[in-house]
């Protein structure tokens, strides 16, 4: 192998590694599907399609955020985490969802210890 081939292979390898690392960083956190879908129903943040990508809409006041395409899912997770710290509480094996006026809206039963650990870690409660 001569020097030109070595440099070419090295550059291709570097670009592949950097691409993989940036894709991995842009991926949202893995979620427990059953419990996340049950809690997401009560979250005020929804995704709205637009020509330039996705918009995050706060259904409480209609405020819209337009993050770039690479950050939209990460930003949605951040907003859900902030909301969850204020509006979710774990009591034994039940996640209690509170409204803006601190009244209990719903109770979601946790089925596995893995779901409980995920809720505590993701929402920080």
Q: How far is CA 19 from the centre of its chain?
A: 21
pLDDT of residue 13: 93
CA dist., res. 40 & res. 20, Å (int): 29
pLDDT of residue 31: 87
Q: What is the pLDDT of residues 2-31, one digit of tens each?
A: 888 889 999 999 999 998 888 887 777 788
pLDDT of residue 46: 93
CA dist., res. 108 & res. 123, Å (int): 15
- The full set of domain ranges for the chain reads 1-29, 31-123
Q: What is the pLDDT of residues 37-96, one digit of tens each?
A: 999 999 999 999 888 788 999 998 889 999 887 788 889 999 999 999 999 999 888 999
CA-wise closest residue to 27 among 67, 64, 77, 65: 77
């Amino acid at each position: 192998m001569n020097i030109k081939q070595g440099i070419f292979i090295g550059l291709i390898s570097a670009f592949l590694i950097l691409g993989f690392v940036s894709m991995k960083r842009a991926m949202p956190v893995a979620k427990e599907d059953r419990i996340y879908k049950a809690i997401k129903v009560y979250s005020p943040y929804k995704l709205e399609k637009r020509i330039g990508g996705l918009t995050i809409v706060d259904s409480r006041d209609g405020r819209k955020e337009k993050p770039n395409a690479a950050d939209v899912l990460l930003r949605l997770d951040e907003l859900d985490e902030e909301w969850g710290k204020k509006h979710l509480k774990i009591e034994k094996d039940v996640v209690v969802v509170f409204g803006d006026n601190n009244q209990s809206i719903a109770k979601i039963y946790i089925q596995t210890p893995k779901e409980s650990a995920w809720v505590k870690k993701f929402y920080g409660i």
